[in-house]
Each structure stands twice: as structure tokens, then as C-alpha cells.
Amino acid sequence: MGGVTSSIAAKFAFFPPNPPSYHVISDESSGGRLFIPEVPRRDDVDVLKLQTRRGNEIVAVHVKHPKASATLLYSHGNAADLGQMFELFIELSLRLRVNLIGYDYSGYGQSTGKPSEYNTYADIDAVYKCLKEQYGVKDEQLILYGQSVGSGPTVDLASRVTNLRGVVLHSPILSGLRVLYPVKKSYWFDIFKNIDKIGMVDCPVLVIHGTADEVVDWSHGKQLADLCKDKYEPLWLSGGGHCNLELYPEYIKHLKKFVIAIGKSKASSNGSLKPSEDANGRSKPSESGTSEEFESVPEVSRNSLDSRLEKSKKENKPEKSRMSTDRVDSAASATHSGAPQHKHQHHTG
């Protein structure tokens, strides 16, 4: 079993950018306020250093929106850090009208320690504690967002906290082992076993996945959606890969609709969030007026996502979004002789 364990750890590992894409500096002229010199300084952004229960110090950024009624806690993929994510954090906050906090796992960016499954659980817990104590965020105001490997700490926290506003799983994994091999049951040496935890998540869950994902097969997202207690209408992006879903117009539109719908649900406690369907199974506007309210939200920003989309059109190929950077290393170690080779093993970092 030891050989299998080391094989899985090596194949489905963490790939922090090296060197990190950013630094953290203290500005003594502003009372020691932290900032990241590689990105534009903004009054609405706090750069934080948080202590975890496992003894590491992680870096987080909190983006404030003046009209926010919710906070989104974002867990990124396994081959990115905060310097690469910053612009898109700003964009999501603007588009969705939410406060947003993102963080680097232990061993990523300027966070100390080494990356591991259990360190990511301690990392997200430290961010959650910060939101509660420093920003006064209540559970019913909190949306958890996990992309690919980030779905691991996201589902873990969501399975332990009741009354969250919602969860978004973006190209999520059933488990680490299942990305590599089509196993039918959970093993003790597996990591990020979302398949065994998703049934304990009580809040509405939106799953987003590309049908042509070359790293984490679409079947992962479909099965997780089927296992949700409170499933919001999932978004299957036809032809979408693992690292370009944000470039599809449907992505931000559907995500915004979800944020508005769960906000209305918390305000009115009207129950189901699933959009009604016509006789042919097509979604239609709900009687609650969610679609009308969604359409009334102005597009406060038309910058980074749209400019990336236009650039990809001109180049006749999709640009890889930094938000989705993720990687599975198929050459990191020898394949365990008793396990079948999974067909989706690619470098995407």
C-alpha cells in the first residue's frame, strides 16, 4: 500500500508557482498595512496574514464591494497563487456584487509550510475564522467557491458548517484517486474524498463543469451534482475545458443568477431554488422574479473577462484563464502496477 500512497501523492500533487508571483510588503507610512507590490494598490483590498491551527502562516486578500450582501470564499486550483488570481478576484467581486476573500494554501505564494490535504483544511478554517471574527460575516451570508483541487477544502468546510448561503463547485473532483483511476470505492489512502462528503452539505450547491475537460472528466461534476441534497441547476459548458470556463458568457451569467437566487431565498425562506422547467425540460424564469432581477443588475465592469474572450477569438483558440490554472502531473512517479491508467492525465500548469 505504501507504493500506492506515494504514487497518488506524487501524481495528484500540489504545484505552487516557483518562484511565487508576488511578495508581501508592510507599508510603515500607513501603520504597517500590508500590500502586494506586483498588483495595483486599492483602498478596498486588505492583504492579510493568518495563523492556522497547524502552525503555518497563510496569505489572504479580502476585496470589499460597497453594495455586497454576501461574501464569497474562493479556494483556487493547484498551480496558481494570489498574484495570478488577483485581477480575477477583483472582477468576480464587481460582477457578482460580493465581498470576496481568496487565500494561498500552505506552501503557496508567501504562505509558510508545505502543501498537503490536511493543511488545506486548516488553511480554509483560518480564513473562515477571520471572516467571522474580523469582518463579522455570518454563515448565512457566506458562499464557498472551490475550483478543481479547491473543491476539496470547500466541500470539507461546507460539510461541517450548517446554514451557509451556498456552495459553488467549479470543475470539481470526486476524489484525488478518481482523477487518475476509475475506481468504484473509496480507499484509505485517497485524498479530497468529496464523493463521501457532498451528501453532508445542506445548502444549495451549484456545479459548473466543461464537457471537454481534459484534466478532471465531466463525470466528476455530474456525479457530485447528483449526490447533492439541494442541487441548483448545474451548468454544463459544451466544449469547455479545465482552464477556460470563465471565458464563456454563460459562466458569469449563470453564476450571477445563482448568487441572486440564494440571496432571495435567504431573505424570504421560500424553499427550493431550482428554476422551473417547461414541458421540454428547458429552464424558464421562475415565478419569484429571479430572472427579472438578474436582468436588472447592471454590468459594472466589462474588462478582464471580456477582453480575454475577445483575445481568444482573435487568436482562434481559448486563452487559459489564470483563475482556473490547475495541473495533474502524470510523469511525477511510476504508475502503480495494479491500477488501470486513467485516460485523462495532462499538464495544465
Rounded to an integer, what is the distance from CA 8 to the centroid of its chain? 22
The residue annotated as part of the active site, out of 62, 220, 242, 342, is 242
Task: Give the number of other Cβ atoms within 10 Å of residue 87's Cβ.
Answer: 17
**Cβ neighbours of residue 116 under 8 Å, at least 6 residues apart?**
14, 106
Q: How far is CA 260 from CA 70, 94, 135, 215, 303, in A?
A: 10, 14, 22, 30, 22
Instruction: Look up cell 502524470; give the residue.
Output: 330
Asked if 148 is an active-site residue, the reply is yes
Q: Which residue, among 68, 127, 70, 125, has the nearest Cα to 101 in the 3D structure?
A: 127
Residue 314: all three cell numbers together: 482573435
The residue annotated as part of the active site, out of 75, 148, 171, 324, is 148
Q: Which residue, among 245, 86, 228, 244, has the nearest Cα to 158 in the 3D structure?
A: 228
Asked if 220 is an active-site residue, the reply is no
DSSP tag of 331: T
Give residue 235's identity as a one-letter amino acid code.
L
Residue 170: all three cell numbers together: 467549479
CA 112 to CA 120: how far, in whole Å? 12
The residue annotated as part of the active site, out of 104, 123, 190, 213, is 213
Cβ atoms of residues 220 and 174 within 8 Å: yes
Residue 100: all three cell numbers together: 470576496
Q: How far is CA 182 from CA 77, 81, 217, 342, 348, in A?
A: 21, 29, 10, 7, 20
What is the residue-wise DSSP string for 148-194?
A: GGGHHHHHHHHHH-SS-SEEEEES--S-HHHHHS--SS--TT----H
Asked if 159 is an active-site residue, the reply is no
User: Which residues carry out catalysis?
Assistant: 148, 213, 242
